[in-house]
Amino acid sequence: MTHAAGPLVFTRVRAVDPSRGLDATVDVVVEQGRITRLGPDAAAGIAGTERVRTFDGAGRWLLPAFVDLHAHFREPGQEYKEDIASGLAAAAAGGFAHVCAMPNTRPVNDTRAITEMMVARAREIGGARLHPIGAITKGQAGEELTEMADLREAGAVAVSDDGHCVTSSAVMRRALEYARTFDLPVIQHAEDHALTAGSQMHEGAISARLGLRGWPSVAEDIIVARDLLLAEAIGARYHVAHVSSLGAVRLLRDAKARGLSVTAEVTPHHLTLTDAALLGYDTACKVNPPLRSEADVAALRAALADGTLDAIATDHAPHSPLEKDCEFDSASPGMIGLETCLPLLLGLVREGHLSLARLVDALTAAPSRIIAIEAPTLREGATADLVLVDPERRWTVAPERLRSKSKNSPWLGREVCGRVELTVAGGVVIFDAAEGR
Ligand SMILES: [Zn+2]
């Protein structure tokens, strides 16, 4: 699937990169891994020549490739759900050239050896770049801190106990202090487990109607409020994973207004679905944190638009039929998200909830800043990490066309609009829809 890095030429394409204030119809030339020319008629004399792959940009957009802060690749330990190879293939198909892997593997990624193994495995596979996130505590048990210096040296870009919340204030305080020494962001899965024990979905009118135990949004707000106090006192880099509640949005907006170094991400599913999606007991819609109310979704959309929520992250969480084709109570939470991210978000742009510029920023420059990697950008001389999109192309989310090993998506069988046609990482084509399934 991966091609040798011959020259690539995009002619008359709408190139959009808000980090440079760019939104123009131009030609773009990629040679030896970099963007070498960008401008009107930049492809003159090159397009159509030997060894050059030329892409007609008519009706297409060229964007910096996407960066996902939050994916679960299940390797090591649960490769039947996903492995690094299938996860990276799904990422490339979704337009991502960079993807962060959460540490809740089996064993947990809490050591240099596991981080190194993941990085080496991803290099061997090629394709999208993998950036491991190390655990905050050993075994994600919430007690003893990991050797964050080792994790960082091995390639970890952040630390998180995602899947679990760091509930102890004392441990969280030490984690923020320790991570600050290594300039690593601490990513919190904000959930007061004492308030969510046994929960199945968002606590509200619908959970009451369905007779399912609820996950109250205040369980998220309490942790975010406490962590912001700690982060402020310590001066650490704090990042909230998958923000889902109106209350957390308010707290973040206030903290940012006071100049705190805090950031946050939101998932495509929390922006596009409410708890009403659970009415048919569809286990594909069981996620953690849960799908929330209309008021929460409206707050998330506004916060993404105004930058209170910095980045979009998929929380791609593959599960096999073993974990999903069962009673609602016993189903594992999570849905896949890498390959449906772009069309779902383009829907928000079309409906006027979000500008295209903010969407691109939230998928590229904003997440890159958070993990301190070179942001994909459309500039002469920059590394060629880019994605070609047909914004009008309709396609059906069919299991056989998804690269992910797992198919736990509520959008299966549904038609969406907007398709990734080509993903390029470091000048190499890592996904080409023309070779599709
Ligand atoms: Zn989480």
* Residue 306 located in a structural domain: yes
What CATH number did the domain enclosing 408 receive? 2.30.40.10
Same domain, 354 and 391: no
Q: What is the total count of domains within the chain?
A: 2
Same domain, 130 and 144: yes
Same domain, 121 and 224: yes
pLDDT value of residue 47: 72
Residues with CB under 5 A from ligand 1 (ion): 162, 189
Same domain, 395 and 312: no
Asked which of 333, 348, 371 is the last residue of a domain, the reply is 371
Please give the model's pTM, rounded to 2 decimal places.
0.97
Same domain, 197 and 342: yes
DSSP letter (8 states) at residue 132: E
pLDDT tens for 157-209 read 999 999 999 999 999 999 999 999 999 999 999 999 999 999 999 999 999 99
Same domain, 89 and 207: yes
CA of 126 from ligand 1 middle (Å) equals: 27
Distance in angstroms (rounded) separating the CA atoms of residues 150 and 285 = 37
* Residue 409 located in a structural domain: yes
CB atoms within 10 A of CB 414: 12
Same domain, 428 and 293: no
CA of 339 from ligand 1 middle (Å) equals: 19
Same domain, 212 and 131: yes
Same domain, 137 and 212: yes
Residue 36 in tokens = 């070498």
pLDDT value of residue 6: 84
Same domain, 22 and 131: no
Same domain, 403 and 428: yes
315 is catalytic: yes
Residue 272 in tokens = 């596009």
pLDDT value of residue 393: 97
Give the angle 290-296-298 at the CA atoms, nearest 5°: 130
pLDDT tens, residue order, the chain (437 aa): 445 568 999 999 999 999 999 999 999 999 999 999 999 999 998 877 778 999 999 999 999 999 999 999 999 999 989 999 999 999 999 999 999 999 999 999 999 999 999 999 999 999 999 999 999 999 999 999 999 999 999 999 999 999 999 999 999 999 999 999 999 999 999 999 999 999 999 999 999 999 999 999 999 999 999 999 999 999 999 999 999 999 999 999 999 999 999 999 999 999 999 999 999 999 999 999 999 999 999 999 999 999 999 999 999 999 999 999 999 999 999 999 999 999 999 999 999 999 999 999 999 999 999 999 999 999 999 999 999 999 999 999 999 999 999 999 999 999 999 999 999 999 999 999 998 65
What CATH number did the domain enclosing 358 receive? 3.20.20.140
CA of 288 from ligand 1 middle (Å) equals: 6
Distance in angstroms (rounded) separating the CA atoms of residues 330 and 222 = 27
* Residue 427 located in a structural domain: yes
DSSP letter (8 states) at residue 59: T
* Residue 1 located in a structural domain: no
pLDDT value of residue 17: 98
Domain that holds residue 405: 8-62+379-435
Same domain, 290 and 263: yes
* Residue 3 located in a structural domain: no
* Residue 82 located in a structural domain: yes
CA of 215 from ligand 1 middle (Å) equals: 14
